[in-house]
C-alpha cells in the first residue's frame, strides 16, 4: 500500500483519532485534578494567590488542549466518512 491509497490514509486517520481520544481522557482527568487543587489552595489559610493563579493558568492551557484534540477527532471523523465520490468509485469497481 502507498500513501496515495485511501485505505492506508483512513487507517492513519483512525490511529490519530484514537490517540487524540486517549489524550482527551488523560487531559480531562488532569483538568479535574487541577480543579481540586485549586479548591484546596483556596481553602488554605492564608491563600497563596500566586499558586492559585498558576493552577488556573495550567487549567486553561489544559482546557485549550482538550478543545484542540476534540477538533482533531471531529476533523478526522469528517474526513474519514465516505464521500459521494468514494461511493461512485466503489460502485464503478463492482461493475
Query: What are the Cα distances from residue 6, in Å, to 20, 22, 32, 76, 83?
Result: 21, 24, 39, 13, 12
**pTM for this predicted structure:** 0.72
Query: What are the Cα distances from residue 89, in Å, to 2, 10, 28, 86, 95?
Result: 18, 16, 41, 5, 10
Per-residue confidence at 83, pLDDT binned at 50, 70, 90? low
Per-residue confidence at 12, pLDDT binned at 50, 70, 90? confident
Selection from 30, 17, 3 nearest residue 81 by Cα? 17
**pLDDT score, position 21:** 96
pLDDT over threshold 80, residue 25: yes
pLDDT (tens digit per residue) in 44-79: 999 999 999 999 999 999 999 999 999 999 998 888
**pLDDT score, position 78:** 86
Amino acid at each position: 500500500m502507498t500513501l496515495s491509497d485511501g485505505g492506508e490514509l483512513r487507517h492513519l486517520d483512525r490511529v490519530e483519532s484514537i490517540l487524540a481520544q486517549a489524550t482527551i481522557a488523560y487531559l480531562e482527568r488532569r483538568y479535574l485534578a487541577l480543579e481540586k487543587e485549586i479548591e484546596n489552595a483556596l481553602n488554605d489559610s492564608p491563600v497563596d494567590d500566586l499558586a492559585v493563579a498558576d493552577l488556573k493558568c495550567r487549567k486553561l492551557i489544559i482546557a485549550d488542549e482538550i478543545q484542540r484534540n476534540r477538533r482533531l477527532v471531529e476533523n478526522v471523523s469528517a474526513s474519514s466518512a465516505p464521500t459521494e465520490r468514494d461511493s461512485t468509485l466503489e460502485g464503478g469497481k463492482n461493475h
